């Protein structure tokens, strides 16, 4: 692998060339999603090179459509990364913030190599719904990749890649969601997903600040 850095009027140009021992080896890496993964990583370089607070503070939860199958969610949490990580893995903390719109409560929270979350609106058990999945990759306190599927629903689910980057006591949370197709992506976005996530992330920030 060779990396070349060039100065331009608009900033810096980074060129990465990777050489493979065979065409088959190249095809295998491409099939594993290396191109998409590299693009998503490179897209976050600008955030790393400026102050996190300058980049994201006060802007709430932002949703970017990357392509037909990928969406990126970003939210700056005013708190250290270790607490943000704990708030994603300790049921006692998760039950305080992972709620969505006002009036909902988490009634089941199981975490580990597999997970299961169930919510209901107020005391009405007929409104219950939830998600379940398994952990594909876990690198504590900075990255986790999980599958996600609505409980009781047929068909493919999503692949969720969450990364945490801390600077000056603030943590940039980046969530890249891979949908099975464009139709599923558009259907979920149309449910008001971003607003619901902002309500939850605002509670997450309050929970992290209280846990300091």
pLDDT tens digits for 144-165? 999 999 998 888 899 999 999 9
Query: Is 114 strand, coil or helix?
Result: strand
pLDDT above 80: residue 44: no
Would you say residue 173 has pLDDT above 70? yes
Please state, in angstroms and rounded to a whole number, the distance separating the CA atoms of residues 171 and 165: 5
The pLDDT value recorded for residue 69 is: 93
Helix (H) or strand (E) holding 194: helix 193-211
**Span 123-137, average pLDDT:** 94
At 47 the pLDDT is 67
Percent share of the chain, pLDDT over 90 = 68
Measured distance CA(183)–CA(132) in Å, rounded? 21
* Alpha-carbon gap, residue 13 to 6, rounded angstroms: 5
Please identify which residue in the block is written with the tokens 């006591």. 169
- Average pLDDT, whole number, for the chain? 90
Q: What is the pTM of this model?
A: 0.75
Determine the Cα–Cα distance for residues 69 and 179; give it in Å rounded to an integer: 5
């Amino acid at each position: 692998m060779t990396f070349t850095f060039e100065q331009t009027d608009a900033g810096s140009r980074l060129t990465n060339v990777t050489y493979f021992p065979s065409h088959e080896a190249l095809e295998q890496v491409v099939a594993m999603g290396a191109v998409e993964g590299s693009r998503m990583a490179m897209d976050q370089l600008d955030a790393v090179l400026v102050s996190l607070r300058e980049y994201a503070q006060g802007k709430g939860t932002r949703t970017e459509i990357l392509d037909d199958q990928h969406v990126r969610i970003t939210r700056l949490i005013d708190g250290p990364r270790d607490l943000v990580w704990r708030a994603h893995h300790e049921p006692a903390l998760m039950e305080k913030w992972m709620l969505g719109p006002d009036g909902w409560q988490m009634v089941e929270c199981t975490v580990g190599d597999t997970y299961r979350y169930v919510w209901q609106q107020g005391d009405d058990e007929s409104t219950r719904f939830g998600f379940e999945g398994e952990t594909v990759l876990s690198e504590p306190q900075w990255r986790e990749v999980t599958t996600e599927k609505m409980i009781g629903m047929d068909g493919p689910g999503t692949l969720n890649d969450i990364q945490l980057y801390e600077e000056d006591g603030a943590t940039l949370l980046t969530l890249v969601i891979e949908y099975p197709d464009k139709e599923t992506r558009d259907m979920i976005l149309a449910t008001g997903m971003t607003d619901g996530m902002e309500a939850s992330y605002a509670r997450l920030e309050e929970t992290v600040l209280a846990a300091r």
